Structure 1
Amino acid sequence: MSGMEMEALHSNEEEGQLTLEGVRSYMVSHYDRPLTIDQLSRLAGLSPNYFGEAFRKAFGQNVMEYLTAIRMGHAKQLIRDTNLYVREVASRVGYSDEYYFSRKFKKEVGVSPSVYSKQAWRRVAVWTTSSLGNLLALGKLPVAAPIDPKWTPYYYGLYREDIQVHLDCAENVKEADNLALIQHAKADVLITDKALSSQGSELVAASGVKLLNVSRTDWRSQLREMARVLGRRQEGERWIADYESRLAEVKETITAEAGSERFVTLRLFDEQLFLYSNPGIRDVLYTDLALGGVPEQREVVNMPMTIEQLCELNPERLMLIICPNAETRMYWLKLQHESRWRSLKAVQNGQVYILPSNPWFEYSAIAVRRMLEEAHVMLTGNNPSPLPVLVHGAAKLVTL
């Protein structure tokens, strides 16, 4: 972008003229009016050609493409959330001719307004891995989701060819970049259990995508809430019933194997031990399986612990999550040769288990089922479960 274009984008409004950002905001607020490039360029005090080029470079779309996207976003909302006739929707988003609007809508959205009104909840995108795990448990594929060979290897291995748009999973990814991908996927609904920024929520609304925030409660409640909104209550209840049935079987065999033995779950980070329990560990190990842990692990906890304190507990079984950074790995190598560590019952009996971050850091219907199966294998060595088919959804997955 040239210096003059940067000045047009960011300079203060003078003599009644708007910056490019000001014109963009004007379009967002006045999309229902018959706007033209000539009108908008006059607001910026620029020639139509220069204004059009500067706008495209600043916002990645030409002026009329941007205006059309705003109008179609609001049209999708009106069709999805109201009982307005097509001509009323067209009028409210800036089109005087309902037939031209219908043709434009079909070109941009892929289906006619009448068809969209019947399918408005079918193209679902998810914002987080947990939301992906819950949606797949309901037997439905998203059109966009955060999948990556490094960050979500389980989902990437199974669904990389089926999910159309892959959101960036990196921690430093820009929110706007993933939202642009969701818009490109033509999603109708975006499901998340992590709040978007206020600007992100505005972008979602402007693109006509319904934002569904699933409250961060227990996974069963999350699954039921999602199932209710998507009309998949039967699938949700079936998944929960299957989990409860399998839980009863696994609990019986683990109880026979471990009895009243004490379990402790630790997290190693740098040169520090932590008594650790996240929502999945809490639910699967210390609530559902009712393993004999310490009281603190029946809640979410990440509490520093010394080797002396661990020796006082002296558990029969240890489960470890080892952070992958170099300092932690070096500490883990040294710890295994430490006399106090080697004196622990769990170490002497060969009952130390390493928990991988996948699935033990995820909290969803699929993740907790995978944790249940992994716990069963670790603690008994038996695996009669029909993994992986049941875990990633026995119901037929549906996508459009």
Structure 2
Amino acid sequence: MNPAALDRVELQDQGAAKGVYAMTARLPAPLSETPRHDPRLDEVRRFMEDHFDQPLTTQQLAELVHISPKYLAELFKKAYSRSITEHLTDLRISRAKRYLSESRYRLREIARLVGYSDEFYLSRKFKQVVGVPPTAYAERPKQRIAVTSPALIGQLLPLEIVPAAAPLHAKWTPYYYHDYADQIGCHLSYPTPDGDHVADRLLHARPDAIIVSDLLSESSRRACERLAPTMTANRAADWRAGLLELAAFVDQTARAEAWLRHYDARLSRARQQIASLIGQASVTVLRVHSTGLFLYHNRPIRELLYGELGLRPQYNVEHQPNEPVTVERLAQLDADRLFVLACPESASRRFWLSLQHQRAWRSLRAVREGCVYLIHSDPWCEYSATASSRMLDELLLHLSGDCPSADPPTIHGLT
């Protein structure tokens, strides 16, 4: 058989298929039904994933779901923004990359396993899709990395890797969205990256490796594992240990260790600088949510502010991390410095703006002395290497007006 025939998905003329499908073709989905959720497409996609190593045609796939080849091709293209042929190629090349990275199969054997008749045709298709020949790909470090949570972006950037696919949102991940959206080719949805369809999005991104959050569903994780070598990041792990584990997975341990040495040196200098600026001054972090005030701490805040920097909290941070508090109680606590994290939705913003005009709030000592600092959930609610570095920069900028980094930190979302 001609090698190209194994990769060709022929689009049949609707007129030629009319007699075959006249009795079985279904009506198009109603306008209210999005093509992506059409169960017929799910069935076609599953069949392709299970049989990509065999010759497949659009007619064969259309017969599977009892619609015409032309309508199936249109439906597939509209739902996934690529043709059936392109999807089949992605499946085959993705599996070829797995074999190249994780097995000792010869190229001829890999070609047969992924549905190509010989290694020469596989090599041409592989270079066309990936940009390098299969032999060169097998020898290079993993370069195209996909992640399924914003915090994992923050673990990759210290390794000088911008992910090929990642969840982004202008409101909830403004730093990554504004600074890296143009470099991240495949934008996953946030906060939940496409549910069980995340693997389909990642297939189109053609990653060399995938790093997933342990929040991802089991079915999505297994689907990712079929696409590329996949690591599951443990959210319970310390971000430093997580960074080193991730770096080992993508063959960048030396970069991770160098970044950590540089960060620890900055941390040591910052600790001394903060001690000279505020001494033993007490600190309270507040969260403004809806129409309420809360004594707030989370893992990033506890570890950086009260752990690594040794700041003194004005209340017991062993208590619940989101404890309701009144302005009168704040007056009793009488913290020297207040850090305020105001949630960005409209109700919280209205409450925060009105609170600043209340006499009781304006009577607080920290407010009178100009020691109230507005912080944002990005980065103060993210647990990653990049977020910790940005928090350190912002903290020094708030307390001293001096930023230790070569470039001032970009603080998104503060108004």
Alpha carbons of structure 1 residues 342 and 90: separation in structure 2 relative to 1, 3 Å: same
Q: State whether structure 2 residue 133 is matched by structure 1 residue 141.
A: no
CA shift at 1:132, angstroms?
Answer: 1.5
Name structure 2 gaps, 5 residues minimum: 1-24, 34-38, 411-415
Q: Decide which of 72, 80, 94 is 2:115's aligned counterpart.
A: 94
Question: Corresponding residue for 1:325?
Answer: 345
Q: Is the 8 A contact 2:76 2:82 kept in 1?
A: yes
Question: Corresponding residue for 2:221?
Answer: 201
Superposition map of 1:361-376 within 5 A: 361-376=381-396
Q: Deviations over 1:210-267 (max 9, x none)?
A: 3322211222112111111122212111211112111111111212222222211000
SS of corresponding position for 1:101: helix
Q: State whether structure 2 residue 288 is matched by structure 1 residue 268.
A: yes
Deviates more, 1:192-201 or 1:269-278: 192-201
Instruction: Compute the RMSD of aligned alpha carbons.
Output: 3.3
Question: Corresponding residue for 1:222?
Answer: 242
Question: Corresponding residue for 1:301?
Answer: 321
Q: Decide which of 307, 316, 326 is 2:336's aligned counterpart.
A: 316
Q: Is the 8 A contact 1:167 1:178 kept in 2?
A: no
Alpha carbons of structure 1 residues 128 and 170: separation in structure 2 relative to 1, 3 Å: closer
Alpha carbons of structure 1 residues 41 and 355: separation in structure 2 relative to 1, 3 Å: closer
Q: Is the 8 A contact 1:322 1:328 kept in 2?
A: yes
Task: Give, in whole Å, the separation in 2 of the partners of 1:228 and 1:378.
Answer: 35
Counting matched residue pairs gives 378
With structure 2 as the length reference, what TM-score do the two structures score?
A: 0.78
Question: Corresponding residue for 1:31?
Answer: 52
SS of corresponding position for 1:130: helix
Q: Decide which of 89, 99, 116 is 1:78's aligned counterpart.
A: 99
> Identity of aligned pairs, percent?
36
Deviates more, 1:42-51 or 1:264-273: 42-51
Q: Deviations over 1:297-347 (max 9, x none)?
A: 368812222333323322111111112233223322332343433333212
Alpha carbons of structure 1 residues 130 and 63: separation in structure 2 relative to 1, 3 Å: closer
Alpha carbons of structure 1 residues 327 and 150: separation in structure 2 relative to 1, 3 Å: closer
SS of corresponding position for 2:285: strand
Q: Decide which of 210, 220, 244 is 2:229's aligned counterpart.
A: 210
Which one-letter code corresponds to 1:213 in the other structure?
Answer: T
Alpha carbons of structure 1 residues 68 and 379: separation in structure 2 relative to 1, 3 Å: closer
Alpha carbons of structure 1 residues 312 and 187: separation in structure 2 relative to 1, 3 Å: same
Alpha carbons of structure 1 residues 88 and 240: separation in structure 2 relative to 1, 3 Å: same
Q: State whether structure 2 residue 131 is matched by structure 1 residue 116.
A: no
Which one-letter code corresponds to 2:259 in the other structure?
Answer: W
Question: Corresponding residue for 2:297?
Answer: 277
Which one-letter code corresponds to 1:324 in the other structure?
Answer: P
Q: State whether structure 2 residue 410 is matched by structure 1 residue 387.
A: no
CA shift at 1:286, angstroms?
Answer: 1.0
The answer to which structure, 1 or 2, has the higher relative contact order (CA under 8 A, 6+ apart) is 1
With structure 1 as the length reference, what TM-score do the two structures score?
A: 0.81
Q: Decide which of 167, 171, 189 is 2:187's aligned counterpart.
A: 167
Deviates more, 1:234-243 or 1:324-333: 324-333
CA shift at 1:145, angstroms?
Answer: 3.6
Name structure 1 gaps, 5 residues minimum: 11-17, 393-400
Alpha carbons of structure 1 residues 345 and 98: separation in structure 2 relative to 1, 3 Å: same
Q: Deviations over 1:137-168 (max 9, x none)?
A: 1122323344555444434454444x151515
Task: Give, in whole Å, the separation in 1 of the partners of 2:100 and 2:114.
Answer: 11
Which one-letter code corresponds to 1:211 in the other structure?
Answer: T
